[in-house]
Amino acid sequence: MDEIAVLIPCYNESKTITKVVSDWKKALPEAVIYVYDNNSSDQTAILARQAGAVVRQEYLQGKGNVIRRMFREIDAKAYLMVDGDDTYPAEFGREMVDRVLHRHADMVVGDRLSSTYFQENKRPFHNLGNSLVRKTINKLFKNDIKDIMTGYRAFSYNFVKTFPVLSKGFEIETEMSIHAVDKNMQVENVVIEYRDRPEGSESKLNTYSDGLKVLRTIARLYRNYKPLGFFSGFAFLLTVISTIFLIPVVITYARTGLVPNFPTLIVCGFVYMAAIISLFAGMLLSSIVQQDRQDFEIRLIACQYRYEQILRQDTSEQEP
């Protein structure tokens, strides 16, 4: 088991990868630097290996797929994930890792938004999107994570080995944040500096398509993690719509004793039934989610037991 594993997912980062690996070797000399190349068409893998990183390949395209592979293959006491584009300074890594090793944090978030992000980032819609996503998730999940979509994070062994990676692309950071909040894991924020990509280095993000993916991910995860809130909100919406169309029918019946709009009355009745079904579906799924949380705690205990076994094995092998 590594003491510290620095995880760097990369796709066509030949302009910056040598500097990134060198910076991390200086900042955390005891760490093992892993670069996972995701089908780069440039010299990213070669340059990373020359700089001293352990280079591995992930052939399924997408950052989520790379992180899934990393989390499966690497055992470490603390993990630090960082992008290969040289936007995150390495000098903040020590504090983030120490919070995992000494404060038992499960996830430490490198908070760009409280420092230089809005000044350094030259894409205004990215600024708007980050703020919108942060406010939405903190409101829906009642938390105070300062930067939902940062790629600079530290993790504990238990987080890495119990986190189910479902997203394939850049929405993976949003999924990590929601998972940690929902499972009541210890999340801490460290304010970091952010610098924009150096000249000649191109971002792989698409403002609009990736933004829509993130919003869809939030909706999907809210439905999965908070089904009672999701489906009761849907039931409330159906009830309001049905009531709006039903009121004129009721008023006409009260005045004349007649129901001239039977089709409207029938449709309203079916909409009310759909609202009731939606409410009960939310209640049923909420019970299932609660059971899953209990099962997760059992899986967490088993993961901790495995972690302690690995530590004991490493200690016995190191003894003369």
Give the pLDDT of the chain (320 residues) as one tens digit per residue. 889 999 999 999 999 999 999 999 999 999 999 999 999 999 999 999 999 999 999 999 999 999 999 999 999 999 999 999 998 999 999 999 999 999 999 999 999 888 767 666 656 556 666 777 888 888 888 888 888 888 999 999 999 999 999 888 878 988 999 899 889 999 999 999 888 766 665 665 565 676 777 788 888 888 988 999 999 999 999 999 999 999 999 999 888 888 888 889 999 999 999 999 999 999 999 999 999 989 999 999 999 999 999 888 877 776 66
Give the torsion sign (CA, 67, 101, 179, 116): negative
The pLDDT assigned to 138 comes to 83
The pLDDT of residue 121 = 64
pLDDT value, residue 271: 96
Q: What is the CATH number of domain 2-224?
A: 3.90.550.10
The whole-angstrom distance between residue 243's C-alpha and the CA centroid of its chain comes to 39
Residue 92: predicted pLDDT: 94
Q: Beta-carbon neighbour count of residue 28 at 10 Å?
A: 20
Q: What is the pLDDT, as a whole number, of residue 125?
A: 59
CB atoms within 10 A of CB 311: 13
Do 36 and 54 meet the contact criterion of CB atoms below 8 Å apart?
no
* pLDDT score recorded for residue 81: 96
Residue 20, token pair as written in the block = 């990134």
> In the prediction, which pLDDT does 8 show?
96
* CA angle, residues 308, 34, 68, in degrees to nearest 5: 70
Cα 235–142–118 angle (5° rounding)? 115
Predicted confidence at residue 126, as pLDDT, reads 62
| pTM for the structure as a whole | 0.82
Q: How far is it, in rounded angstroms, from Cα 214 to Cα 167?
A: 10
What is the pLDDT, as a whole number, of residue 122? 59
185 Cβ contact partners less than 8 Å away, ≥ 6 residues apart: 106, 107, 159, 179
| Residue 275 near residue 242 (C-beta atoms within 8 A) | yes
pLDDT of 208 reads: 64
In the Cβ-directed half-sphere of 86, how many Cα atoms lie within 13 Å?
Answer: 18
Question: Given this model, what pLDDT does residue 213 score?
Answer: 77
Return the domain boundaries, the chain: 2-224, 227-318
Task: Show Cβ contacts of residue 88 under 8 Å, excluding neighbours closer than 6 positions.
Answer: 82, 110, 151, 152, 192, 194
